[in-house]
Structures are given as structure tokens and as C-alpha cells.
Amino acid sequence: MSAAGNAYNEGFKAGVSAMIEMALIAAITFEVRDDASEIRQRAAVAALQGLAEGAKAALIDPPNPLIRIFKIIADDPASSGVLPCPTCAGRLVWVRDSSNGHLHGQCETVGCLRWMQ
């Protein structure tokens, strides 16, 4: 992933983490109110806790796109090919070295996936 992509990913995770913390703080605020036993307050607490729990799924790192590409290429007997890039949906061109079987590939989008074994 590019430096810009990493920065975006880290910023996204920081934003989601902050949102989770805010939801949990708001839930605690509702729980300590004098009217905390009322149905609306209990519903608000449950909703905020559910929001925080559900948002944790956004913090899970996505699978490495190269692993998926390597699995697709492993099933292909050809010595080269073109696949849709799993990162940007551009054209991912790959070639298998005939001397050692190593894979080389690059997305045609500047700054996207590129590898050499």
C-alpha cells in the first residue's frame, strides 16, 4: 500500500476509535442520569453500546490483496496474464518467470500494487 494509502488507513482507524470512545462515554452519561431507568434512556444506552460494538468491525485490517492474487495465479497454468486489481479495479499485469516460477506483477495505476518475488 502506498504512503498516502497508509496515512488514510491510519486516519480512518483513528476516527473510528474516537467514535467508539465517544459512543461509550455518551452511554455512561445516560446510565448515571437520574432518569436512567426510563425506557428511552435504556434504549439510548443500548443503541450507543451497540454502535460502539459494531464499529469495532471497521477496525479489522482487510486481507492482504496479494494473497488473493497469488491464489488466482496459482490456479492459472499460463505464464502471464491480466487480472482486475483488487485494490483499484485497474489492470493488474503479471508474468511467471520460466526459470524459477517466481511471479512479477504490477497494476497499471500509478502507485498501486507492484511486486517481484
Shared domain for 54 and 78, answered yes or no, is no
Shared domain for 39 and 74, answered yes or no, is no
Compute CA distances 62 → 28, 57, 65, 112, whole Å.
31, 10, 8, 16
pTM to 2 decimals?
0.51
Shared domain for 51 and 70, answered yes or no, is no
Shared domain for 82 and 52, answered yes or no, is no
Distance CA 72, CA 66 (A): 10
CA-wise closest residue to 30 among 15, 13, 52, 10: 52
Q: Is 93 helix (H, G, I), strand (E, B) or coil?
A: strand
Domain limits for position 38: 3-59
pLDDT > 90? residue 4: no
Shared domain for 50 and 71, answered yes or no, is no
pLDDT in tens, 28-47: 999 999 999 999 999 999 99
Shared domain for 73 and 104, answered yes or no, is yes
Sign of the four-CA dihedral 106, 74, 71, 76: positive
Confidence band of 67 (pLDDT split at 50, 70, 90): confident
Shared domain for 74 and 52, answered yes or no, is no
Q: How many domains does the chain have?
A: 2
